[in-house]
Amino acid sequence: MLQNRVVSIPETVIRFFSFFTILTNTLAAFYFTVQASHKKILSTPGSLTAIAVYISIVGLVYQIVLRPLWQPVGLQKWVDEMLHSVNPVLVIIYWFWFEERKKVHYQQIFSWLMYPLVYLVVILILGSFSGFYPYPFIHVTKIGWQQTGINAVGLLFVFAGMALLFVFLGKQFPIVKKESNH
């Protein structure tokens, strides 16, 4: 982005961090870094499920909506595949093996929806000043407020549906911890 930038470096940095993909992959990296350090931050049941939901949406939206819109090449293509395809699958696998899914509850979904809602509000505010919207389905100046609203509500339902699916699957396939004989 820095090499191909058309705006100032600070604006380029803001634009980079305005992508839900970047923020969500950063959140996942933070989660796994904390887990590797054996800290108790984000260790409550449901934290990993929320991250799995977010990163699943990253992968899903990219594969269905965004992949046809551009064809990255070289290093950009490799990074793109890692962020949108590989990382979501790895997080889902990790979720399946390590989340205490039996302790995750449907009521948690409401709090999980705050991240995408706050993201949307911040992006719409920033976009109103800069004219930059990171995704075509929320690009107010191109598609208008009505279509942006419809798309946002649709995405909210996708988030809620994905969260319901993860909690449901977690209840169907809970982790069974083996008792130690010590």
Query: Mean pLDDT, to the nearest integer, of 129-139?
Result: 95
Instruction: Look at residue 11 in the predicted model and tell me its pLDDT.
Output: 84
Residue 128: the pLDDT is 95
* Model pTM above 0.85: yes
How many CA atoms does the CB half-sphere of 4 hold within 13 Å?
A: 4
Q: What is the sign, positive or negative, of the torsion defined by CA atoms of 114, 117, 123, 128?
A: negative
> How long a stretch of residues is the chain?
182
pLDDT digits (tens, 9 = 90+) for 113-124: 999 999 999 999
Q: Is the Cβ–Cβ distance between 105 and 69 less than 8 Å?
A: no
Classify residue 67 as exposed, middle or buried by CB count within 10 Å of its CB (0-12, 13-18, 19+): middle
Separation of alpha carbons 129 and 145, rounded Å? 15
Percentage of the chain lying above the pLDDT 90 cut: 75
**3 vs 15: CA distance, rounded Å:** 14
182: pLDDT strictly greater than 60: no
Residue-wise pLDDT tens digits, 52-66: 999 999 999 999 999
In the chain, where the domains are located: 9-172
Integer CA distances (angstroms), 82 to 13, 41, 74, 122, in order: 20, 26, 13, 26
Q: What is the pLDDT of residue 73?
A: 87
Over residues 79-100, the pLDDT tens digits come to 999 999 999 999 999 999 999 9
Taking CA 126 as the corner, what is the angle to CA 121 and CA 131, rounded to the nearest 5 degrees? 125
Work out the average pLDDT over 165-169: 96
